[in-house]
Amino acid sequence: MKIYLTRTLMDSENNKVFYTNPVEASQASLRIDKYIAGEIRDFSRAQVQRLIEEGFVFADDEVSQDDEIMPISDESVENAVENTKTQEDSYKKSDVYLTGDNITIDYIVDGNLFVVADTVTINSQIGGDAFICAKNVIINKDGYVFSNLFTTAESVEIKGVVYDVFALAKNFTISGGFVYRDLKVACDNLTINGSVGRNAFVACSSINFNTDQNSNGIIYGDLNYSSDPEVSIPENSVKGNVNYTNLDSSSEQKTVASIIAAYIVNLGKFLAFVLIIWLICLALAPKFLANTNNYVGKKTLGIFGYGLLSLIVVPIACIILVLLRLTSGFSLFLIALYVLAIVVSKSLFTITANNYVCSKMKINKNLGIFGMLIVTGIITFVLTQLPFVGPIISFIISILGLGILIVSILPKKINKKDEEKKEIVIEEEKTDK
């Protein structure tokens, strides 16, 4: 016997017929979704299950006498082709980037989906992840996201199928739909009139089950939720355990000792990171450490300006390039460097401030600078933790650190240009003579 699979998803030809090998006696006891996913490696169990439900999987009763591929009947091929859109605009074999007011996805996307809009409606299959920022997000009955849905919205409604959900919303509703694995959502109101295949992790004000008589709400795994107050969970709505955490309980249970311990741990992490960055600079960028005093004094305001400008301009430029589909790979790489720069900015500021203090105290040896860096790091950390003004100080320090990084790169290019100009002037003078 052979099992045949006609796939209408993620195939540039749109009418290609996929097949499995003949079923062996040792494989007769396997679930059909597990068997097909094992034979065809580019399919996940979730994709196979969906195709089984939609009738794209069938088997013959004939015994194969050789290793040749047994073609399916012409009638079956015709039926498969009829169920497949052959128009060029019905299939996108790449990532899709969209912006607008009302956006409807009626075509297959063999890649990731990135959307920023007012209302987003998905009526088709998304082969990768879906990243959606919108006022309203609707996954209709025919909508199927084969991977993760990441969304921030005022309202999210799932009528189709999503593999995993990560959502931040005001109202989140599963209306007869199915979350294949985990649901992770923070919202005001959660309504479940559909199924969650595994576990739900929820932070919300209210949870409602079975508000629609035509659909049953059920979570097949555990429900882990936090709210204030505790909500009533209907019987048999959760197959696993229900774990409740009061939103205020964590703050009420904090003791002075635990708060101090948390500050000490965070301080230790900050100092360790600063020292690591300093050691890296000492080994790979000694010129930067030698020139840090140039960034203190009259140039501080300019450095702050460079840092603030880069903080605003770089992400805007990257987003524009991504949306315009211009050098999107480079844009994503630039964003990664941008995030890394922000992460190390506080450390660079601390190192710069420490070098300035050490120069005033005439501390020249690395061991002394190392010890003083610990003191400077503690002072910087304490300043960022002060009530009310701490966040402001932290922001200023981050901007200054980012500016220091930018300025430490720019002068090299400027100096080269100046040297080239000087060489041209010298050559012109020699020529005149």
- Which pairs from 83-92 meet CB under 8 Å and 24+ separation? 83/8, 84/8, 84/14, 84/15, 85/14, 86/14, 86/15, 90/14, 91/12, 91/14
Cβ contacts of 14 within 8 Å, gap of 6 or more: 8, 81, 84, 85, 86, 90, 91
Pick the closest to residue 299 from 388, 391, 400, 395 (CA basis): 400
pLDDT in tens, the chain (433 residues): 445 444 333 333 444 445 555 666 666 666 776 777 777 655 666 667 766 766 666 665 544 444 444 444 445 445 544 554 444 457 787 888 887 788 999 999 988 888 878 899 999 999 888 988 888 999 999 999 998 998 888 899 999 999 999 888 889 999 989 999 999 988 888 999 999 999 999 888 888 888 777 778 899 999 998 877 778 888 888 999 998 887 554 444 455 556 667 778 888 888 888 989 898 888 888 888 888 888 887 778 888 888 888 888 887 887 777 666 656 567 667 777 888 888 888 999 999 998 888 888 888 888 888 888 988 999 999 888 887 788 899 899 999 988 888 888 875 544 444 455 555 545 555 555 5
What is the reported pLDDT for 89? 59
**What pLDDT is stored for residue 44 in this prediction?**
63
| CA 149/CA 185 separation, integer angstroms | 11
Helix or strand run (H / E) with residue 39: helix 32-39
Helix (H) or strand (E) holding 356: helix 328-360
In terms of DSSP bridges, do strands 17-19 and 3-6 run parallel, antiparallel, or are they unpaired? Answer: antiparallel
Q: Is the Cβ–Cβ distance between 149 and 164 less than 8 Å?
A: yes
Residues composing the chain: 433
What is the rounded CA–CA span in Å between residue 196 and residue 373?
51
Helix (H) or strand (E) holding 353: helix 328-360
Amino acid at residue number 150: F
pLDDT given for residue 179 in this prediction: 93
Return the C-alpha torsion angle 153, 154, 158, 164, nearest 10: 40
Name the burial class of residue 278, with classes exposed (0-12), middle (13-18) and buried (19+) by CB atoms within 10 angstroms of its CB: buried
The reported pLDDT for the residue numbered 415 is 46
Strand, helix or coil for residue 187: coil
pTM for the full predicted model: 0.46
With 0-12 / 13-18 / 19 or more C-beta atoms within 10 angstroms meaning exposed / middle / buried, residue 71 is exposed
Q: Which of 169, 171, 196 is nearest to 181 (CA)?
A: 196
Distances (CA, A) of 51 to 7, 55, 91, 174, 250: 8, 6, 18, 21, 45
DSSP state of 340: H
* Confidence (pLDDT) at 413: 46
Q: What is the DSSP letter of 90?
A: G
Cis peptide before 229 (omega within 30 of 0): yes
SS3 186: strand
Radius of gyration of the chain (CA): 30
The residues, ordered by sequence, that sit 6+ positions from 426 with a Cβ below 8 Å of its Cβ are: none
- Give the β-pairing of 57-59 and 3-6: antiparallel
The single-letter code of the amino acid at 157 is: E
Per the CB < 8 A criterion, the answer to whether 187 and 169 are in contact is: yes
Q: Which residues neighbour 295 within 8 Å (Cβ) at sequence distance 6 or greater?
A: 303, 352, 404, 407, 408
Alpha-carbon distances of 84 from 33, 95, 123, rounded to whole Å = 22, 20, 14
